[in-house]
Structure 1
């Protein structure tokens, strides 16, 4: 009988109210330089990206930006999933991935002047809140650097274009709620205040660990 495999390490996802989510993330100057998520060991960007993907899978998301795990760097991960899952089956998200993306220093430019606002958006940093009405370009071009330091260009349409625009917003400190009328945010005031409270508690925990010189316990 083989030994059971440990679940992969995942990062805590920062919630609405965490200051890192409102800062403009720093450009990545050296892809070979290690990066460090708070109270986790320093790792290569490739390792950080892998852990971000695992974090995203566990949270059942389609994209995750580095600030959402507390790393103020211009980097995000995203995936395309198969959309033909049979009803009644619950395959792990990783098994449904058609293609994954890791983009460093992405620059997103619209290719289509028309915008679509009919798709419902959500955010892993604002769990449980979903809204339509966010206007996004229907097609975009993304110029970015890959994990080997090579410049790349990618064009995307429809939902994938929306995912890229959503994640790029995070790198500038923008939530999808910011792109909706203020009364929408006000409608979720109670929920957002609760997330802010959770963020303050988590930051206090991080500060306590920092002073003690410890690390967050890895998820095993």
Structure 2
């Protein structure tokens, strides 16, 4: 299974992901193949929709203080639902599907999320800080929402203009 990151403005990023019903080899292969892509692109989270699979599947691996992301710290969430949220945190977010763009985004500081693991076991996780932000960011992907959708109108318009210019520069051959 060859996976590639889907980049904005690809319309697939706006799809709502479907609930996972079958916890089978295909799901395990998807999860196993998402991890090297996330790590290889310096990501801390990746939703299946970002690799063109509209399933409620996401992975996270928050770096340790030394910047390492050992596979032991990998969190796989299937069918996640936030059941509690409170507090407020502003964090500079980026996205593998919106490369080279970072912006301060307001999120809940503390969340509780229920989800299933790759074997359909139900789990609950309480998260705060960066882990909370990353979970909310990835769950937004499952709902067809990008972090740029949370920008103020004027900032969003500025982003669109900057991003179009960057895409043009990327496509034009350098002399």
| TM-score bin (small chain) | 0.7 to 0.9
The answer to whether the Cα contact below 8 Å between 1:10 and 1:54 also exists between their aligned partners in 2 is no
Cα drift, residue 196 of structure 1: 7.7
- Once residues 131 and 156 of structure 1 are traced to their aligned partners in structure 2, the CA distance between those partners, rounded to angstroms, is 21
Deviation (angstroms), 1:193: 3.0
Q: Are residue 110 (structure 1) and residue 81 (structure 2) matched?
A: no
Q: How far, CA to CA, are the matches of 2:49 and 2:166 in structure 1? A: 16
Residue aligning to 1:128: 100
Deviation, 1:171, is: 0.3
Give secondary structure in 1 for the equivalent of 2:115.
strand
Instruction: Look up the SS of the partner of 1:149 in the other structure.
Output: coil
RMSD after superposition: 2.0
Distance 2:57 2:166 in 1: 24
2-side partners of 1:193 and 1:110: how far apart?
A: 37
Q: In structure 2, how many angstroms separate the alpha carbons of the residues matched to 1:102 and 1:195?
A: 33
Aligned-partner Cα distance in 1 for 2:92–2:158: 16
1:25-40 superposed matches below 5 A: 25-32=17-24
- 1:52 correspondence with 2:30: no
Cα distance in 2 for residues equivalent to 1:18 and 1:195: 15
Q: By percentage of residues, which structure has more strand?
A: 2
- The 5 A counterparts of 1:191-210 are 191-193=162-164
Aligned length: 168
Q: Specify the SS of the correspondent of 1:127.
A: strand
Highest RCO, 1 vs 2 (Cα 8 Å, sep ≥ 6): 1
After superposition, residues 1-220 of structure 1 pair within 5 angstroms as 11-32=3-24, 44-85=26-67, 93-94=68-69, 96=70, 99-112=73-86, 114-117=87-90, 119-132=91-104, 134-193=105-164
5+ residue gaps, structure 1: 1-8, 35-43, 86-92, 198-220
